[in-house]
Structure 1
């Protein structure tokens, strides 16, 4: 696999810390970095080595969980601390759509997703049924979290509703295709019969919540859409809630007959895992572990 390099801001998004913290980690020598011109770049493999996980693995005995939420690192760490040495769990940092696609193509993969279907006003199940055709699956709830507008503190453009994105004085920054936020934006456009070409900045892409928030803070965009948790990490950003999303995990039904996957599910339902989740602000874990499908 070709080496991939990340900016300090992208690393901050993965680690769920502030960008300045990443620079401090580089300065202390805790995180390897390479100077490319005037900018630091960090190899993705070094980020995952620091975290104690790897983004992908070739071993047929290991399990890969697809998803971007930091809580999945906790899940992997708890599993691996109890491992018998034969099976390890790793996280692959890909978005909802790509995760389901990868799960369909590969054994021993588990997907997490937060994709809103505007026609039914539900999360995930319509996409799971379409993207995993013929697969018998079991879907379990992990958590709920708010998504909404990122604006500068004080909301100088007075953005209140989705239709405000059509205003001439408002420029947004979008997210990449396949991400849960991009799917929400496109579904809202469809539901409200909005032509995306009328939205200033629709073609401008940020690859993470924190990068989107940074663009708003710098003034290159007036608004972005992302989750509440990331907004709290960026001083000067105000969060305006739009919709509470459901973040769920998908297993193949046949895999749950195997002790390795049953152990993973047991950890999700454990008090230890839920206690770790409670310590992370911005989550509603009241139905964590509930089977949805």
Structure 2
């Protein structure tokens, strides 16, 4: 028997040339059948091909299946499908994986899916209806506050709640021994400094850009500034390999990469954003209850570097 090829959400996104969040949205709406293997969602090649054919037919205004062609294989009905609600949780911090596990156990009928994208893309995806629980750590340099200024500008006229998740140390990744003597944000103006940078819209990129802006440091011609990495580990690794002199990220990633040192400069704030809709009420309340629970906090307390003193506090509610 020949085993059918299956694809991850990332592979489907690459094949269809769409964002991962759009793929998760298709899975969430049931337009693209999927199943779970461990924590990973898989899509069979036949279901992907059937979706493509349906899309072609919808675009042309008639069925893409020819009269004598066999019908695309339909997935077997899932007796729990009607009762199960998929929730897309965005962000890269490991605390969100723990939240997803607690949510699946404690809120019946919920199937959490994790999407590892940056803060700004996460908020935009929620605006488009493609994400449910958004994690953000976006600094507004002018006010010195995190997240709420961005949320209020984007979700005008919508009801939402911003709940505090945790604080963690962020700062500079530097090479062993800190040969460029980088100890403050102002030191990033040193001539010839080579950067390892994150992608536009990520919390680390916004943090760097805000600190450069506030100090009048132009990004024009900064070596490495335009080259983007998709996570903290990749930035730290470029510094460790000598390809860059400095990068911005969280302390946790620095502990996983040898050959670098970490210069703490700020306590960044990670918050969750959720839309307040009638159909969301029970799981939004469930998320807040989990954040405030001893069971959730005790798991995070065993991980160094988290400040949980305000975890579960409602910071803003529209």
Same structural fold, with TM-score higher than 0.5 when normalized by the shorter chain: yes
Matches within 5 A, 1:82-121: 82-84=106-108, 86-106=109-129, 109-121=132-144
Partner in structure 1 of residue 212 of structure 2:
189
Partner in structure 1 of residue 11 of structure 2:
3
Partner in structure 1 of residue 147 of structure 2:
124
Residues in 1 aligned to 2:204 and 2:93: alpha-carbon distance in whole angstroms:
13
Correspondence for 1:68 among 60, 70, 92: 92
Contact 1:165–1:171 (CA under 8 A) maintained in structure 2: no
Cα–Cα, structure 1 residues 225 and 49, in superposed 2: closer, same or farther, change >3 Å? farther
Cα–Cα, structure 1 residues 78 and 114, in superposed 2: closer, same or farther, change >3 Å? same
Displacement of 1:264 in angstroms is: 2.0
Contact 1:174–1:224 (CA under 8 A) maintained in structure 2: yes
Correspondence for 2:158 among 115, 135, 138: 135
What SS does the corresponding residue of 2:305 show, helix, strand or coil?
coil
Partner in structure 2 of residue 36 of structure 1:
none
Question: Structure 1 residue 220 and structure 2 residue 228: aligned?
Answer: no
Correspondence for 2:176 among 153, 156, 160: 153
Unaligned runs of 5+ in 2: 1-8, 15-33, 44-80
My pick for the range that moved more, 89-98 or 252-261, is: 252-261
Displacement of 1:163 in angstroms is: 2.8
Larger Rg: 2
Q: If the length of structure 1 is used for normalisation, what is the TM-score?
A: 0.78
Contact 1:103–1:109 (CA under 8 A) maintained in structure 2: yes
Contact 2:236–2:247 (CA under 8 A) maintained in structure 1: yes
Residues in 2 aligned to 1:108 and 1:180: alpha-carbon distance in whole angstroms:
17
What SS does the corresponding residue of 1:62 show, helix, strand or coil?
strand
Displacement of 1:157 in angstroms is: 1.5
Residues in 2 aligned to 1:75 and 1:130: alpha-carbon distance in whole angstroms:
27
Contact 1:165–1:199 (CA under 8 A) maintained in structure 2: no
Displacement of 1:83 in angstroms is: 4.6
Question: Structure 1 residue 284 and structure 2 residue 292: aligned?
Answer: no
Contact 1:140–1:290 (CA under 8 A) maintained in structure 2: yes
Residues in 2 aligned to 1:124 and 1:2: alpha-carbon distance in whole angstroms:
27
The size of the alignment, in residue pairs, is: 250
Alpha-carbon RMSD: 2.6
Q: If the length of structure 2 is used for normalisation, what is the TM-score?
A: 0.72
Contact 1:54–1:92 (CA under 8 A) maintained in structure 2: no
Residues in 1 aligned to 2:271 and 2:278: alpha-carbon distance in whole angstroms:
17
Contact 1:55–1:92 (CA under 8 A) maintained in structure 2: no
Contact 2:170–2:267 (CA under 8 A) maintained in structure 1: yes
* Superimposed CA distance per residue, residues 228-273 of structure 1 (whole angstroms, 9 cap, x where no aligned partner): 0110111221100111111000112335862222222211111100
